[in-house]
Amino acid sequence: MLSRILTAIFVVTFIMLTALTPVQAQDVATGQRIFRSNCSICHSPRPGRNIVGPSLFGVIGRHSGRIPDFQYSAANLRSNLTWDPATLDRYLSNPQQVVPGTLMTFPGLKNSQQRADVIAYLETLR
């Protein structure tokens, strides 16, 4: 009897732990959808195409403020960041906090899975 109860407790605990563990696999297709609905009104994924924001083609690994014909804010130019996945994750969660005074009037993606997915998509733009 006791062993059955213990087995039941073990099984329930195991199921709960599995359900609570966040799935952090990054999904490029989901990231592309998130890009289209959150970023593409201001950013193009194509090289050389600047809209309200600079082209995000090849953004991974790029230094901040490096698209030659885009008028960046002084805040962006001073930020001295390299857009690696970790920095992008911080920036995209709250752009105004990471680069105070930035022209990017985007409140940020609060969901870490959405940020991981959109960054996985940005990594394909090369």
Site for ligand HEC, rule CB under 6 A: 38-39, 41-43, 52-54, 56, 59, 64-67, 72-73, 75-76, 83, 92, 102-106, 109, 118
Scan for tokens 């959808």, then name that residue: 33
Specify the amino acid at residue 96.
Q
How far is Cα 85 from Cα 88, in angstroms, rounded to an integer? 5
CA 98 to chain centroid, in Å, comes to 14
Choice between 32 and 76, CB closer to ligand HEC: 76
**CB of residue 106 to ligand HEC, shortest distance in Å:** 4
CA atoms within 13 A on the CB side of 23: 7
Q: Is the dihedral of CA 65, 38, 99, 24 positive or negative?
A: negative
Least gap, CB of 41 to ligand HEC (angstroms): 6
Nearer to ligand HEC, 13 or 36 (CB): 36
16 vs 78: CA distance, rounded Å: 46
Minimum distance, C-beta of residue 22 to ligand HEC, in the bound complex (Å): 20
Nearer to ligand HEC, 9 or 36 (CB): 36
| Residue number, 32 or 102, with CB nearest to ligand HEC | 102
